[in-house]
């Protein structure tokens, strides 16, 4: 009697799969028949597109051909004991030599006059066309041959043939009853069901069918993702949090202590934060806003609220430069308000750190600003109520959570300067509430942006000189640290592939290195103070250089992208980016955001030589607009999501968003949207 197989059966229930093969499948994450059916093809061979031998030879591509066997196969043993089995086959366009290696049994299969559909690559030798080790199927079978053949991901020891065979057994033998999308939602979204989709994805008959099957699995995947995001949001909504409030007098004191008037956007975001923190439930809020929109003051307002309620608040920044800068600005503000601010960064001496630990543990420190050092073991908070993370995409989810774990039922605020389209934000940060600082402080000037090549070098140096002589400061960003470097030492170049795994544009000939360029500029700009800053320098050294620049002692700062994150020097008016094509658009936008922060007219000059058409288009898009959201969209449109996701890649992966098996967040954005809608109505009904 035949055994009944279902989706939960181990794959050893399929005939021909013993424990040894099961181990191989396990390497692909396949344990059950259900897993096997969800081993989606990497792609398909289109064997239905039959070419003549001549066409196939000309195309140079793997092709499908219908050929008649022209000679009896003969085997010869050549050196290394390799057996070659050869015969000829032909069609109306020509004749070729077919060769198989070490497959003596082939000899028995082929006979003169029989026709087969062969699938392989025709190559040319001096005397003939050759087809080596092609796939083949006899055309004399009663049923028509299928056009599409699935190609599966493999692991050593497994062949396409084995995987195809196992899947065929599973499709024919198992009951395909595993519906994960409720029927009503399937209908509303015009989706086929699981059984049909599964059959088609492995054995499509045509492309339209395949598209429908793919849509089903994309939806299924994104629907489950949406459900989990919603679930996690619901869970967070029920976490209690400290109920914090301020007197009107204290509110006024904060506003009066600022050196500027809040914009409407800032005031609204602060109200949203205060409403959360006063609700008695823990806040989980994302504040997004373009570079320079003034997010820091929103964070400061939250820190102030906690401190005024005699609780502690932590503010974590991704780099020492940024943490130190926040500390310098905020400690002035908070000291004026009678609140003790403490800094904690990795480069502090042991004694300094111990002093900070003591202040933090005793509760004397109310506002604690620092880097990852804040989540290290030695740090014990006395009464932490709020955790703020700046430039949160620079941190892993784990690091954020480690900070949240430093207290109980903390209010959590995360800040992000990376504009992302709404639907994506909803999925990536779907478990957070969202506030947008969606306008810039008044009086901001647009940063004029130009793209130039090496012929402008002299004029560029002249421009630096005039800006410096007027007392302004200049940033010059280079992609490498030392000459000959191919990376900047900070950016993980292994991540520099786009969403489809395509490498980013590395076409540029020679990379400008920060150290060498700084020396050259110092020579060319005799009398102007030039300093260099890069990731290989010691923290203390970096801090000194950065402080000298902030204090105006240095006019020209030549650096790698270490300055990218959040640095604020209002007197800087010129940003020059060398080998601009090496940077992602959103990253360039962030760099550009370092200038135009004060009252002076500012410029951003992108230098690129011998640019590929695509790179040129991207950089021109940056010259045309200063709106981060439009730049993100242009980035998506021009390059696909790779560059766009480059920085967030890590985070997305931690969210599992890049590990979708079928869905592609960019091209399936509309499905993502419907999946969230569906999940929302589904959850609402559940309650």
From 48, 363, 396, 441, residue interacting with ligand ADP (rule: CB under 6 A): 441
Site string for ligand ADP, 415-434 (x = CB under 6 A): --x-----------------
> Could you tell me if 566 and 577 are in contact, meaning their C-beta atoms sit under 8 angstroms apart?
no
- Residue 207 interacts with, from Mg ion, ligand ADP, none (CB under 5-8 Å by kind): none
CB of 667 to ligand ADP, least distance (A): 31
Among 133-141, 191-199, 262-270, 381-389, the segment contacting ligand ADP (CB under 6 A)? 262-270
Asked if 173 interacts with ligand ADP (CB under 6 A), we say no
Cβ-Cβ contacts under 8 Å for 589 (sequence gap 6 or more): 291, 622, 628, 631
Neighbours of 478 (CB within 10 A): 27
* Residue 521 and residue 530 in contact, taking contact as beta carbons nearer than 8 Å: yes
Per DSSP, the residues of 133-163 read S-EEEETTSSSPPPSEEEE----TT--HHHH
Based on the shown chain and the rule CB under 6 A, indicate whether residue 293 belongs to the binding site for ligand ADP.
yes
**Cα 118 to Cα 31: distance, rounded to the nearest angstrom:** 33
- Can you read off the two tokens belonging to residue 211? 């598209």
Counting contacts by CB under 6 A, is residue 575 touching ligand ADP? no
Which partner in ligand ADP, Mg ion, none is near 173 (CB below 5 to 8 A by kind)? none
Binding mask 566-605 for Mg ion (x = CB under 5 A): x---------------------------------------
415: tokens are 């800040």
| Residue span binding ligand ADP (CB under 6 A) among the ranges 55-63, 234-242, 257-265, 450-458 | 257-265
Size of the site for Mg ion (CB under 5 A): 1
> CB of 566: closest distance to Mg ion in angstroms?
4
Q: Which of 541, 564, 535 is nearest to 347 (CA)?
A: 541
Q: Which two tokens stand for residue 471?
A: 């007392």
- β-strand 62-69 against 82-91: which pairing, if any? antiparallel
Nearest residue (CB) to Mg ion, 209 versus 296? 296
Distance (Å, rounded) from C-alpha 423 to C-alpha 418? 14
291 near ligand ADP, rule: CB under 6 A: yes
Query: 197 vs 321, which CB is nearer to ligand ADP?
Result: 321
Decide: is 262 part of the binding site for ligand ADP (CB under 6 A). yes
**What residues numbered 89-118 form the site for ligand ADP, per CB under 6 A?**
none
Query: Is 476:557 a contact under the CB 8 Å cutoff?
Result: yes
Instruction: Between 34 and 566, name the residue whose CB sits nearer to Mg ion.
Output: 566
Could you say whether residue 566 binds ligand ADP (CB under 6 A)? yes
| Separation of CA 60 from chain center | 35
Segment interacting with ligand ADP, rule: CB under 6 A, options 260-268, 303-311, 613-621, 649-657: 260-268
Minimum CB separation of residue 253 from ligand ADP in Å reads: 17
Query: In this structure, what token pair is assigned to residue 380?
Result: 């014990």
Residue in the structure block whose two tokens are 């969209």: 633
Helices (H), 395-456: 397-404, 422-428
Tokens of 147: 């056009």
Q: Any long-range contacts for 612-617 (C-beta under 8 Å, 24+ apart)?
A: 612/505, 612/507, 612/581, 614/505, 614/638, 614/639, 615/505, 615/507, 615/581, 616/451
| 599: phi then psi, degrees, rounded to nearest 5 | -90, 0
Q: Does position 37 bind ligand ADP by CB under 6 A?
A: no
Identity of the residue, 479 or 566, whose beta carbon is nearer to Mg ion in the bound complex: 566
Min dist. Cβ of residue 370 to Mg ion (A): 15
Does residue 627 belong to the site contacting ligand ADP (CB under 6 A)? no
Q: Which of residues 297-326 bind ligand ADP (CB under 6 A)?
A: 297
Under the binding rule (CB under 6 A), the answer on residue 439 touching ligand ADP is no
Q: Is 641 helix (H, G, I), strand (E, B) or coil?
A: helix
Residue 384 Cβ vs ligand ADP, minimum distance, rounded to whole Å: 23
Q: For ligand ADP, which is the closer residue by CB, 441 or 552?
A: 441
In the block, which residue shows the tokens 């209002």?
570
Q: Does 294 bind ligand ADP (CB under 6 A)?
A: yes
260 binds ligand ADP (CB under 6 A): yes
Q: Which token pair is 271?
A: 């109200």
| Residue 318 touching Mg ion (CB under 5 A) | no
User: Quick one: what does residue 21 bind among ligand ADP, Mg ion, none, with the CB cut-off 5 to 8 Å set by partner type?
Assistant: none
Q: How near is the Cβ of 570 to ligand ADP at its closest, in Å?
A: 6
> Which residue of 63, 266, 371, 427 would you call a contact of ligand ADP, by CB under 6 A?
266
Measured between alpha carbons, how far is residue 359 from residues 82, 241, 304, 362, 382 in Å?
77, 24, 18, 5, 9
Q: Where are the alpha helices (DSSP H) in 488-568?
A: 514-524, 539-550
In angstroms, the CA 294 to CA 117 distance is 66
Total of residues contacting ligand ADP (CB under 6 A): 19
**Which residue, 260 or 500, is less far from ligand ADP as judged by CB?**
260
Residues that bind Mg ion in the complex, under the rule CB under 5 A: 566
**Residues making contact with ligand ADP (CB under 6 A):** 260-263, 266, 289, 291-297, 417, 441, 566, 568, 570, 597
């Amino acid at each position: 009697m035949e055994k009944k197989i279902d989706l939960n059966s181990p794959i050893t229930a399929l005939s021909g799969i013993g424990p040894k093969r099961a181990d191989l499948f396990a390497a692909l994450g396949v344990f059950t028949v259900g897993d096997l059916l969800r081993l989606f093809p990497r792609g398909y061979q289109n064997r239905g597109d039959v070419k003549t031998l001549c066409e196939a030879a000309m195309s140079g591509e793997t092709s499908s051909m219908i050929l008649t066997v022209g000679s009896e196969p003969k085997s010869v043993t050549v050196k290394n004991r390799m057996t070659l089995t050869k015969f000829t086959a032909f069609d109306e366009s020509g004749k070729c030599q077919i060769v198989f290696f070490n497959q003596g049994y082939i000899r028995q299969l082929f006979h003169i006059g029989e026709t087969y559909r062969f699938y392989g690559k025709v190559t040319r030798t001096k005397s003939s066309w050759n087809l080596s080790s092609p796939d083949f199927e006899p055309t004399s079978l009663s049923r028509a041959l299928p056009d599409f053949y699935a190609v599966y991901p493999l692991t050593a020891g497994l062949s396409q043939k084995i995987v195809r065979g196992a899947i065929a057994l599973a499709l024919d033998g198992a009951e395909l009853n595993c519906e994960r999308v409720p029927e009503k939602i399937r209908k509303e979204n015009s989706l086929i069901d699981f059984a049909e989709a599964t059959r088609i994805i492995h054995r499509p008959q045509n492309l339209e069918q395949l598209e429908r099957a793919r849509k089903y699995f994309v939806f299924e995947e994104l629907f489950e993702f949406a459900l989990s995001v919603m679930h996690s949001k619901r869970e967070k909504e029920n976490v209690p949090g400290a109920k914090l409030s301020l007197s009107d007098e204290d509110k006024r004191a904060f506003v009066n202590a600022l050196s500027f008037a809040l914009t409407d956007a800032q005031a609204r975001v602060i109200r949203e934060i205060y409403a959360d923190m006063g609700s008695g439930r823990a806040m989980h809020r994302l504040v997004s806003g373009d570079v320079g929109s003034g997010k820091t003051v929103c964070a400061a307002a939250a820190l102030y609220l906690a401190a005024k309620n005699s609780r502690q608040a932590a503010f974590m920044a991704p780099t020492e430069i940024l943490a130190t800068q926040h500390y310098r600005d905020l400690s002035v503000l908070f000291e004026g308000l009678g609140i003790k601010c403490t800094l904690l960064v990795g480069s502090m001496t042991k004694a300094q750190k111990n002093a900070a630990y003591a202040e933090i543990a005793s509760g004397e420190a109310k506002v604690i600003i620092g880097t990852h050092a804040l989540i290290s073991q030695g740090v014990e908070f006395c009464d932490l109520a709020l955790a703020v993370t700046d430039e949160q995409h620079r941190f892993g989810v784990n690091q954020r959570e480690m900070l949240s774990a430093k207290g109980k039922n903390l209010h959590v605020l995360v800040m992000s300067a990376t504009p992302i389209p709404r639907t994506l934000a909803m999925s990536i940060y779907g478990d957070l509430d969202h506030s947008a600082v969606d306008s810039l402080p008044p009086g901001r000037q647009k940063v004029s942006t130009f793209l130039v090549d090496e012929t402008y070098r002299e004029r560029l140096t002249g421009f630096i000189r005039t800006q410096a002589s007027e007392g302004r400061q200049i940033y010059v960003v280079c992609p490498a640290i030392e000459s000959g470097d191919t990376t900047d030492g900070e950016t993980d170049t292994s991540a520099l592939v786009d969403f489809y795994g395509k490498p980013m544009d590395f076409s540029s000939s020679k990379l400008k290195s920060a150290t060498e360029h700084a020396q050259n500029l110092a020579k060319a700009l005799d009398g102007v103070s030039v300093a260099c800053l890069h990731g290989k320098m010691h923290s203390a050294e970096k801090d000194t250089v950065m402080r000298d620049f902030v204090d105006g002692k240095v006019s020209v700062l030549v650096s790698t992208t270490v300055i990218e994150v959040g640095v604020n020097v209002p007197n800087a008016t010129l940003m020059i980016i060398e080998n601009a094509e090496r940077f992602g658009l959103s990253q360039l936008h962030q760099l550009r955001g370092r200038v135009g922060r004060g009252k002076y007219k500012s410029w951003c000059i992108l230098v690129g030589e011998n640019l590929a058409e695509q790179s040129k288009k991207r950089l021109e898009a940056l010259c045309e607009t200063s709106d981060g959201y439009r730049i993100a969209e242009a980035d998506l449109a021009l390059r696909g999501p790779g560059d766009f996701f480059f920085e967030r890649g890590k985070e997305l992966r931690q969210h599992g968003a890049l590990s979708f098996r079928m869905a592609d967040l960019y091209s399936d954005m509309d499905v993502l949207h419907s999946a969230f809608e569906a999940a929302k109505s589904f959850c609402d009904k559940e309650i």
